[in-house]
Amino acid sequence: MTFSVTILGSSSALPTSKRFPSAHVLNVHERLFLIDCGEGTQIQLRRFKLPMNRINHIFLTHSHGDHVLGIFGLISTFNLLGRKSDLHVYGVADFEDIFYKNIDYFTDQLSFKVIYHVVDPFKVETIYSDKHVVVTTLPLRHRVPTVGYLLREAPRPLNIRKELIAKYNLSLAEIVKIKNGSDYTLNNGTVIPNAELTYISSLPRSYAYCSDTLYSERLVGLVKNVDLLYHEATFLHSDLRLARLTGHSTAQQAATVALKAGVGKLLIGHFSSRYKNEKDLQREAQEIFPATEVVNDGLTFSVEPKSTY
């Protein structure tokens, strides 16, 4: 089943001819989740042939324009297309009033319901879950309240080891109980632990999105062992003073987070337009964490299932 992220926008505050502002789409089992919605997001969705009607949840990191200005046009387009299904938007409290006022101003009566969920940028908490995915907040350090997101596949159902079905002559009812987590007791009273009877076919895959933020040791622990980490790398480390002044990270710092957290792969983006060659940022990061890739608009990064049996 699919678990991949497509980059819609990879620039920082100033768009370029090649890079739109921040927006990523995560595909979890063919359900799409939009993370940030910079200007032009709906254009990129069409350009990269992503079905926007599958987006029912949008996660915003903070209220700066390069992360949110595209959401009003996207909602207007949803309305013009006659959307009926609810749209859930998650973001910080200081954006809620602006969000609803802009929707009221720029759209006629909506054909669907928009629900804004306020998230606490200082807490780690699960804000959404279904049978496919669990979304947890990641507190970030920026000039305004900012939150990142960890999206992880929901735990898969247990599988019973087929050879044990015949060995213990298990009935259908017993198999169902074991798959639901029960141990199995033999006629002589011996208890067979559930862990010896079952296995998980593959480990849950994970993606962490860490937009505008200063370097954070706390974040290292929160993204421990994720498969795919996106961490902003607005500046080269030679511009560390400017990074600190503006509430951003360097490529070296992003790589340090990835190394300490033991992630599978690091994606870096949100580059300042002052840099004409993103390879310089990539080289700086790869010196610390070799499994680093620069994101470009339109690229898709997939995480393959990790078998456990």
pLDDT of residue 308: 63
Structure tokens at 88: 């859930």
**What is the per-residue pLDDT across 157-210, written as a single tens digit (0 to 9) for each?**
777 788 877 787 788 888 778 788 888 788 787 888 887 777 676 789 999 999
From 77, 8, 3, select the one nearest 36 (Cα to Cα).
8
**What is the per-residue pLDDT across 284-294, written as a single tens digit (0 to 9) for each?**
999 999 999 99
pLDDT of residue 201: 66
**What is the per-residue pLDDT across 95-136, written as a single tens digit (0 to 9) for each?**
999 999 999 999 889 999 999 999 999 999 999 999 999 999
**What is the per-residue pLDDT across 207-220, written as a single tens digit (0 to 9) for each?**
999 999 999 999 99
Domains of the chain: 3-156+200-307 (3.60.15.10), 159-198 (no CATH)
Q: What is the 3-state secondary structure (H, E, C) of 176-196?
A: HHHHCCCCEECCCCCEECHHH
Structure tokens at 220: 């290292």
> Does residue 17 have a pLDDT over 90?
no
Verdict on whether the full-model pTM lies above 0.85: yes
Label residues 217-252 b or e (16+ Cβ within 10 Å = b): eebbebbeebbbbbbbbbbbbebbeebeebbbbbbb
> Does residue 309 have a pLDDT over 60?
no
Q: Report the catalytic residues.
A: 66
From 50, 42, 265, 27, select the one nearest 151 (Cα to Cα).
27
